[in-house]
């Protein structure tokens, strides 16, 4: 397989240059290239036929994580950097759970969180995780205008987001998740670290009496794309996080899910995965939240 | 066409390439470094084309050659210096870490990066590190053995530090 002829390759050094780099082509004929771990497959298969490639690799402004008022993750931050950041504990731990098990080392050395969220593939990890953690997405348009939107509004459906073709994803911002918050993510795939047939992310925040003050639950691998499991959130919130509550929450989530049947799993199996993974992930998230609230190392 | 400069195995090259040329094709067809293999071609799943990009193991079929402009690449040909195998290559030879050898260059490149970042891996870590490389001869047991032996040899050399 070989890409179609590409007329232009541009590599802007700053965001200002990047906006100018979109000039001269219809935005639909341009591909913004980050780690290439999704879009290069599509380009080689000629499913995507760019006339112009704008390579984002030199945009230092889009790299790295900062911890002022929550956590801001630059769009070009690679999986390997998230996977190795031992400071991502408590409420942010799900990011590491996911990043450590995306594909393989070579994919993690190139793939970026921004690319994963913009591609928003059905079977993907980070879109569901940042949905579960309640991220805000920071976009910059070619005319210099920026907008911040909730991840719930950004992820529309498989391979579809609210990003316009002339917009750059600059960063993802996660709210401050202090002591008493814990999150976790786990997926099941056909082989180790494969694309998720189902993945579950849970974020729990404890109240001072040890009950669950707030819960967010999200699922990956379902045909409609990364989605919240609000039925489970409703049951977990206000509960003591005990066995009965967790079982009921994921029974409800599994029942409510539109679980497709395909060659990887039938719908009954997908529902079972939601129940089994959901329990494990909720228990891990709770442990992390409790460890944080007692000051122990999560 | 675009003119790029890159370093491959320590040698500086200037090449004029079409933007759609894949990095793996630049390496194999232009630079005639055919130790870097191609197997799955576009899924990016087999790891046979793995090279080091500024020291990080990456799949060269998943990159355009123009993206490597200004960067440094190491291929399997760049491992041995003056015919002197690296401890990892030596261990693959001694532990019978290859059968047909098709997957071997990609595995050597991935594990070179892996051992640099994790010089004392457990077997579980070695296996996890190898996920991105398929061996159709399925010789994984000896591959893991060879990586383990290379790690031990390097540790012995540095006085077990
Ligand atoms: C072998 C293999 C295994 C994999 N396993 C998994 C897995 O287990 N779980 C998983 O979730 N994924 C997996 N993936 C997919 C991978 O995670 C990619 O989805 C991810 O790396 C995409 O990020 P990228 O930086 O490579 O993006 P690219 O492929 O470069 O880009 C993807 C899309 O996002 C757009 N884009 C990228 N950055 C920006 C930006 N800053 N602003 C605007 N648009 C942007 C691009 O234009 C493109 O449309 C796997 C991939 C491979 C090859
Ligand atoms: S040829 Fe590059 S991963 Fe298979
Ligand atoms: S030795 Fe034959 S493919 Fe690995």
pLDDT at A296 (0 to 100): 55
- Nearest alpha-carbon partner for A28 in A56, A54, A50: A50
B91-125, pLDDT tens digit by residue? 999 999 999 999 999 999 999 999 999 999 999 99
> Does A2 map to a domain?
no
Number of residues that this document lists for chain B: 161
Rounded to the nearest integer, the mean pLDDT of chain B is 96
Are A85 and A28 within one domain? no
Rounded Cα gap, residues A110 and B57, in angstroms: 9
Identify the bridge partners of residue B27 per DSSP, sorted by sequence position. Answer: none
Are A115 and A45 within one domain? no
A48-68, pLDDT tens digit by residue? 999 999 999 999 999 999 998
Among chain B residues, the shortest Cα distance to A192 is held by B131
Instruction: Give all strands (DSSP E) within chain B, no chain letters.
Output: 2-8, 11-17, 50-53, 56-59, 72-74
Last residue of a domain, one of A118, A144, A174: A174
Q: What values do phi and psi take at A140, rounded to 5?
A: -125, 125
> Does A3 map to a domain?
no
B124-135, pLDDT tens digit by residue? 999 999 999 999
Between the CA atoms of A49, A53, A59 and A65, what dihedral angle is there, to the nearest 10 degrees?
10
Last residue of a domain, one of A174, A203, A220: A174
Domain limits for position A39 = 8-55
Residue A162, domain CATH: 3.30.465.10
Residue pair A203/A187 in contact (Cβ under 8 Å)? The answer is no
Mutate to test the pocket of ligand 3, among B39, B111, B133, B136 (most ligand atoms within 8 A of CB): B136
Query: What's the pTM?
Result: 0.97
Q: For chain B, what are the domain ranges?
A: 2-78, 87-157
Query: Is it true that domain B2-78 has CATH number 3.10.20.30?
Result: yes
- Integer angstrom CA distances of residue A67 from A64, A96, A128, A172, A183: 10, 16, 21, 12, 17
| Percent of chain A whose predicted confidence (pLDDT) is above 90 | 96
pLDDT at A101 (0 to 100): 98
Are A66 and A101 within one domain? yes
pLDDT at A2 (0 to 100): 83
- Residue B58 has its nearest CB partner, among A7, A41, A110, at A110
- pLDDT (mean) for A116-128: 97
Residue A146, both tokens: 């920026």
Are A167 and A223 within one domain? no
The answer on pLDDT for A297 being more than 60 is: no
B12-49, pLDDT tens digit by residue? 999 999 999 999 999 999 999 999 999 997 689 999 99
Rounded to the nearest integer, the mean pLDDT of chain A is 96
CB contact under 8 Å between B62 and A40, yes or no, is yes
ipTM of the assembly?
0.97
A64-117, pLDDT tens digit by residue? 999 989 999 999 999 999 999 999 999 999 999 999 999 999 999 999 999 999
Are A273 and A205 within one domain? yes
Are A145 and A185 within one domain? no
- Atom 21 of ligand 1: nearest residue by CA position: A111
- pLDDT (mean) for B65-93: 97
Residue A235, domain CATH: 3.30.390.50
Instruction: Quote the ligand 3 centre to B98 CA distance (angstroms).
Output: 6
Are A275 and A235 within one domain? yes
What contacts A39, CB < 8 A, 6 or more positions away? A31, A33, A48, A115, A119
The answer on pLDDT for A280 being more than 50 is: yes
Rounded Cα gap, residues A112 and B139, in angstroms: 32
Q: How many domains does chain A have?
A: 3
Are A112 and A208 within one domain? no
Residue A29, domain CATH: 3.30.43.10
Are A191 and A280 within one domain? yes
The answer on pLDDT for B161 being more than 50 is: no
Residue with tokens 């070179």: B112
- pLDDT (mean) for A202-219: 97
Residues in B lying within 8 Å of A, measured between beta carbons: 2, 18-20, 22, 41-44, 47, 50, 53, 56-59, 61-64, 66-67, 69, 110, 113-114, 128-129, 131-133
Q: Grade residue B159 by pLDDT with cuts at 50, 70 and 90.
A: low
- Residue A109 has its nearest CB partner, among B22, B56, B64, at B56
pLDDT at B42 (0 to 100): 67
Rounded Cα gap, residues A213 and A201, in angstroms: 17
- Nearest alpha-carbon partner for A139 in A169, A164, A160, A116: A169
Considering the domain B87-157, what is its CATH architecture? Orthogonal Bundle (1.10)
Last residue of a domain, one of A121, A145, A174: A174
């Amino acid at each position: 397989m070989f890409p179609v002829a590409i007329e232009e390759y541009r590599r802007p050094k700053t965001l200002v240059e990047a906006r100018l780099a979109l000039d001269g082509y219809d935005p639909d004929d341009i591909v913004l290239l980050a780690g290439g771990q999704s879009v290069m497959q599509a380009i080689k298969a000629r499913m995507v036929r760019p006339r112009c490639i704008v390579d984002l690799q030199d945009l230092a402004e889009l790299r790295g994580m900062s911890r002022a008022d929550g956590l801001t993750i630059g769009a070009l931050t690679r999986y390997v950097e998230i996977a190795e950041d031992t400071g991502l504990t408590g409420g942010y731990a799900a990011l590491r759970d996911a990043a450590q098990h995306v594909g393989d080392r070579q994919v993690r050395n190139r793939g970026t969180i921004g690319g994963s969220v913009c591609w928003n593939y059905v079977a993907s990890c980070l879109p569901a995780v940042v949905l579960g953690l309640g991220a805000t997405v920071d976009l910059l348009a070619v005319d210099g205008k920026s907008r911040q939107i909730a991840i719930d509004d950004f992820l529309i459906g498989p391979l579809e987001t609210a990003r316009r073709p002339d917009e750059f994803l600059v960063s993802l911002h996660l709210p401050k998740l202090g002591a008493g918050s814990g999150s976790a993510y786990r997926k099941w795939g056909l082989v180790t670290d494969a694309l998720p047939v189902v993945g579950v992310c849970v974020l729990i925040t404890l109240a001072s009496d040890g009950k669950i003050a707030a819960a967010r639950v999200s699922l990956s691998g379902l045909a409609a794309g990364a989605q919240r499991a609000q039925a489970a959130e409703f049951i977990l919130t206000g509960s003591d996080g005990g066995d009965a509550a967790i079982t009921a929450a994921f029974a409800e989530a599994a029942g409510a899910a539109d679980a497709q049947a395909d060659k990887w799993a039938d719908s009954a199996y997908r529902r079972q995965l939601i129940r089994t993974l959901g329990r494990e992930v909720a228990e891990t998230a709770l442990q992390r939240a409790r460890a944080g609230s007692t000051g122990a190392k999560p | 066409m675009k003119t790029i400069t890159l370093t491959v195995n320590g040698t500086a090259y200037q090449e004029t390439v079409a933007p759609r040329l894949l990095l793996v094709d630049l390496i194999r067809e232009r630079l005639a470094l055919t130790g870097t293999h191609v197997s799955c071609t576009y899924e990016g799943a087999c790891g046979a084309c793995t090279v080091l990009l500024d020291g990080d193991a990456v799949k060269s079929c998943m990159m355009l050659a123009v993206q490597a402009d200004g960067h440094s690449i190491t291929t399997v040909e760049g491992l041995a210096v003056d015919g002197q195998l690296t401890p990892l290559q030596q261990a693959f030879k001694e532990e019978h870490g290859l059968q047909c050898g098709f997957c071997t260059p990609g595995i050597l490149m991935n594990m070179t990066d892996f051992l640099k970042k994790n010089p004392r891996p457990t077997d579980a870590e070695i296996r996890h590190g190898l996920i991105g490389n398929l061996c159709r001869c399925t010789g994984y047991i000896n591959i893991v053995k060879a990586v383990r032996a290379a790690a031990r040899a390097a540790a012995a050399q540095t006085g077990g530090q």
